[in-house]
Structure 1
Amino acid sequence: MALLSVRNVLTGVSIVIAVLVAQIIVVKSCSHQTRAVVFRAQYILLMQLGMLAFSFILWRNFRDFPVHFSKFSCEVQSQSLTTRQKQRSSASPGDDPGASTESLFCRRNLHTSSDEHYTFSSSQNGSRSNVHNIWRLSLILYLSLCHLSYFSNLFLIDKNPHWFGMLTYSCFGSFIQLNTGLLLFKTLSLIVKVWQNYVLKISSGGSHSSLLSVSVSGIHQKRIIGLLSLIYMILASTLGLYTASQPPGVESVKIPVKDLPNNLYGLSIVQLSDIHLGPTVGLSKLQMIVDIVNKERPDVIVLTGDLVDGKAETLRGATQPLKSLTSKYGKYFVTGNHEYYTGDVDNWFSLLRSVGFTVLHNSNVRIPAELSENEDGQICLAGTDDLQADKIQYGEHRFDLAQALLSCSTALPVILLAHQPKAARLAVDSKYRVDVVLSGHTHGGQLFPMMAGAYLLNPFYAGLYSVGDNRHVYVSRGTQYWGIPMRIGTRMEITKITLVPTDD
């Protein structure tokens, strides 16, 4: 078994190295469409290898769960029976009401190890064997659905989500929560065990209740932890599915801007980000978003990347509600990393322009546009390509702050749209005037415990940040979600930003 595990690890490492080498070769020699395919294949491979490791953990912990739980029930009955017998030492065993046939049956079968099957009568053995087989088959099916989730991005994208895509991604979300529950409760059981063995033993002379001893002993840990993890998974997943099914809330934020022209005091900018039209978000959710935005009557609408998870032709029908978005000074779009994963950015630019968006492709505009460039009373709204464009080498696309701000006057306030917080950090640390950066990308973590990674891997996580003198970064938590139709510990938002003058 150990040798098999080592071989599996070495095989996985070899595959990853081969893909990375192939990626280097492809990046240098092939078209950006091919490079996008290679990047996606690499992502799928790494994702599947990681999921295999966690699937193995779940299989080891839950493959015999019905047997474990049945045996645990027997052991609890046995301990309870023993306690009653001690209390009634003067009574004969036959007079003990706890000595039921089932209890005696359990006691006769408590001598097997925790990982062995029981020896039952033929009828009981057949029944329990059937339950065990059904459980294992169900577990295999569940893990298979989890692994199939991302493939719905490739084959099941349409105007509205396909039921199979929703099912597989929901399973994937519960898969994350089940592994999280295992980690949490195993950690908790270790803490309780240490506390019991050292602190409680000193304070109470080793007197423990039988139930506590059952719950923390080595034999029972696996059963109790498994049950608690399943309960946690069900509760967390149900909460996550419900939260993600609700409309995004409107988050109102005031941002002070230096030299804000008098005519633009109170300018409202509605920011949308990370809608992720694809396997689990479609036309109906986008229409709901558009209806909410139009009720806010914004002056400007900005979409800061990750609108889509598929090709333009496939999702053309799902994007049609974007035509109905209305604002006083227009609607603007910049790319996110997921646009580049599609390998179809140029077609997306054409489609978005057809529904009324101005694409800020390392470029800028003046707002209000009707004023002359020599007049006061404007701000410069700029946008950059996402950092992923540099990695995938998509045509002439790249993160180019200098080009994006080229014609912005230093006398005017500058609002920059840049999808990733890492790009926002580059902007506010640059020599250029950048008053406000609007970003997304993190989703606020989307799910517990993924929010820890989102927090650690990004210079800005979620919400409003003040950086130095008169510079601000706002990171949206996302208007929808990526893939997994769940939100746990964070919320979806449509951000309404109001520009106000600084105090000085």
Structure 2
Amino acid sequence: MRFIFIVMLALYVLIDVYVFRVLRGTGRSFWPYVYLFVSAVIIGNLIVRFFVINDEGGRVLSVSKSYAIGFFISFIVFKVFFLLFFSSETLIRFFIGGYKRLFGSDEVFTMPDRRAFVKNMLLGIAAVPFASMLYGMYRGKYNYKVLSYTLEFDDLPEAFDGYTITQVSDIHCGSFDNKEKIQYGIDLINEQQSDVLLFTGDMVNNKADELDGWMDVFAGLYAKDGKYSVLGNHDYGDYVEWETEEQKVANLEDLKGRQKSMGFDLLLNENRFLEKDGQRIALVGVENWGGGHFKKAGDLQKAKQGVSKDDFKIVMSHDPTHWEEKVLPDEDHFHITLSGHTHGMQFGIEIPGWIKWSPSKWRYKHWAGIYESNGEFLNVNRGFGYLAFPGRVGIWPEVTVIKLKKKLV
């Protein structure tokens, strides 16, 4: 790990040397040194936060550590675009010089000088992604969006025609730093006045005590038919080096108790029935089950015990890989599966009807929004909070509202 860090630091310094030389070539004697100062502060803060200061109770991802990561990633983005644009421009000038030497009147090979206009244009373009990242840290992470869907089913009980579900996922309260903004998000959820509220995992980053100071906020979430939850991979405390296994177990039990005290009915591989006018639909709550190396505590067979094949079923399962690998192949028909987990990588471009892209698609086949297969639906919520990078760019925090409709024959 230390060797990898040293290599990355060396690359960081080499890139700084290149950027410094290019900036000096623009004729602005002051700005190259400003750049070096900012770069040194950012990498220094990252080193101090992760290797010197054990702040905020030793949390793996404290608020200050998240911001150190955020500024580092933002500056790396600037460096990458800077290198991309200026190295491409250098390559173009190299070929122009070679062409003039071979086919023109030049007796010796010389590269054309950079034009001032081109220099300034490339600098401006490289700064746009950097500014976007900073905006994502300042405002984007609280740019809550309500996404509404209407799903129709032949076998939906008539009593539930028009029934509304609000889904929230990936709160990650250990990352929060602005109670007023979070309260705005909670109020927005309550304004939907849905019949039931379903939370699909990752209440915390790692530890139950991250909820200190936030429990009253999330206790304010309300739906007339109740609010239900399942666990996500971060809720188990697997990413913390506990001194004893007993501490880890106690942390999970503490989280379960806190969810109960906030009014959530936590489903641990079990189910509940929502009843209305003598009819019912089933909520099937599965513990985290993720493809690859993620925790596989979920047991769909156990969770569906007592639910009949004819019941209308809604599965709550944090990781969307569970849908394709376990839910769809099951002999039972699960009408809707609600997941989260991906965050849409908190970065991407979405223009409804035009484009939907995020690096998350390289890791997850189903990474955001509604998917359908053989009459079974999956919704992957983009998440309410944020993790590691303390911001969102293009992939905004989401509140999902799903209306159930009886399909007309």
Identity over aligned pairs, percent: 23
Aligned to 2:340: 440
Q: How far did 1:457 drift?
A: 1.3
Q: How far did 1:139 drift?
A: 2.5
Q: Does 1:255 align with 2:145?
A: no
C-alpha distance in 2, partners of 1:183/1:141? Answer: 21
Letter of the 2:188 partner, please give it: I
C-alpha distance in 2, partners of 1:288/1:478? Answer: 15
Q: How far did 1:503 drift?
A: 4.8
Which aligned pairs between 1:430-469 and structure 2 lie closer than 5 A? 430-448=330-348, 452-468=358-374
Q: Does 1:384 align with 2:286?
A: yes
Aligned to 1:363: 270
C-alpha distance in 2, partners of 1:347/1:153? Answer: 27
Aligned CA distance change for structure 1 residues 57 and 443 (closer, same or farther; 3 Å): same
Q: Secondary structure at the match of 2:222?
A: coil
Aligned residues of 2:165 and 2:403 also touching (Cα < 8 A): yes
Aligned equivalent of 1:58, options 4, 9, 12: 12
For structure 2, the residue ranges without an aligned partner over 5 or more in a row are: 239-247, 350-356
Q: How far did 1:401 drift?
A: 0.9
Rg bigger for which structure? Answer: 1
Letter of the 1:360 partner, please give it: L
Q: Provide Cα deviations, 1:224-247, integer angstroms capped at 9, x if missing partner.
A: 899457623532223323442544
Letter of the 1:443 partner, please give it: H
Q: Secondary structure at the match of 2:214?
A: helix
C-alpha distance in 2, partners of 1:305/1:153? Answer: 30
Aligned to 1:144: 44
Q: How far did 1:174 drift?
A: 1.0
Aligned to 2:71: 171
Q: Does 1:319 align with 2:212?
A: no
Q: Does 1:487 align with 2:399?
A: no
Aligned residues of 1:446 and 1:488 also touching (Cα < 8 A): yes
Which aligned pairs between 1:295-310 and structure 2 lie closer than 5 A? 295-310=191-206
Q: How far did 1:438 drift?
A: 0.7
Aligned CA distance change for structure 1 residues 188 and 438 (closer, same or farther; 3 Å): farther
Aligned residues of 2:137 and 2:391 also touching (Cα < 8 A): yes
Give the paired residue count: 380
Letter of the 1:462 partner, please give it: A
Aligned CA distance change for structure 1 residues 140 and 350 (closer, same or farther; 3 Å): same
Q: Provide Cα deviations, 1:205-234, integer angstroms capped at 9, x if missing partner.
A: 799xxxx94349xxxx9x889945762353
Aligned CA distance change for structure 1 residues 285 and 387 (closer, same or farther; 3 Å): farther
C-alpha distance in 2, partners of 1:495/1:459? Answer: 20
Q: Which has the higher strand share?
A: 2
C-alpha distance in 2, partners of 1:483/1:430? Answer: 35
C-alpha distance in 1, partners of 2:387/2:128? Answer: 22
TM-score if structure 1 supplies the norm length? 0.65
Q: Provide Cα deviations, 1:302-324, integer angstroms capped at 9, x if missing partner.
A: 11111211422342322221221
Aligned to 1:418: 317
C-alpha distance in 1, partners of 2:67/2:185? Answer: 23
For structure 1, the residue ranges without an aligned partner over 5 or more in a row are: 1-8, 13-48, 75-127
Aligned residues of 1:258 and 1:435 also touching (Cα < 8 A): no
Which aligned pairs between 1:120-269 and structure 2 lie closer than 5 A? 136=36, 138-147=38-47, 155-156=55-56, 164-165=64-65, 167-182=67-82, 184-185=84-85, 188-189=88-89, 192=92, 213-215=112-114, 227=123, 231-269=127-165
Aligned CA distance change for structure 1 residues 345 and 163 (closer, same or farther; 3 Å): closer
Q: How far did 1:442 drift?
A: 1.3
Aligned CA distance change for structure 1 residues 388 and 461 (closer, same or farther; 3 Å): closer
Q: Secondary structure at the match of 1:214?
A: coil
Aligned residues of 1:362 and 1:401 also touching (Cα < 8 A): yes
C-alpha distance in 2, partners of 1:301/1:215? Answer: 59
Aligned to 1:97: none
Aligned equivalent of 1:293, options 170, 181, 189: 189
Q: Provide Cα deviations, 1:1-49, integer angstroms capped at 9, x if missing partner.
A: xxxxxxxx9x74xxxxxxxxxxxxxxxxxxxxxxxxxxxxxxxxxxxx4
Q: How far did 1:147 drift?
A: 4.6
Aligned residues of 1:440 and 1:476 also touching (Cα < 8 A): yes
C-alpha distance in 1, partners of 2:37/2:401? Answer: 49
Letter of the 1:73 partner, please give it: G
Alpha-carbon RMSD across the aligned residues, in angstroms, is 3.9
Aligned residues of 1:334 and 1:417 also touching (Cα < 8 A): yes
Q: How far did 1:178 drift?
A: 2.5
Q: Which has the higher helix share?
A: 1
Aligned to 2:303: 404
C-alpha distance in 1, partners of 2:78/2:399? Answer: 30
TM-score if structure 2 supplies the norm length? 0.78
Q: Secondary structure at the match of 2:72?
A: helix
Aligned residues of 2:63 and 2:177 also touching (Cα < 8 A): no
Letter of the 1:304 partner, please give it: T
Letter of the 2:287 partner, please give it: D
Aligned residues of 2:230 and 2:286 also touching (Cα < 8 A): yes
Q: Secondary structure at the match of 2:371?
A: strand
Aligned CA distance change for structure 1 residues 157 and 483 (closer, same or farther; 3 Å): farther
C-alpha distance in 1, partners of 2:406/2:381? Answer: 22
Q: Provide Cα deviations, 1:139-177, integer angstroms capped at 9, x if missing partner.
A: 33211323556689973279xx98744642431341342
Q: How far did 1:268 drift?
A: 0.8
Q: Secondary structure at the match of 1:73?
A: coil
Aligned CA distance change for structure 1 residues 62 and 392 (closer, same or farther; 3 Å): closer
Aligned residues of 1:337 and 1:389 also touching (Cα < 8 A): no
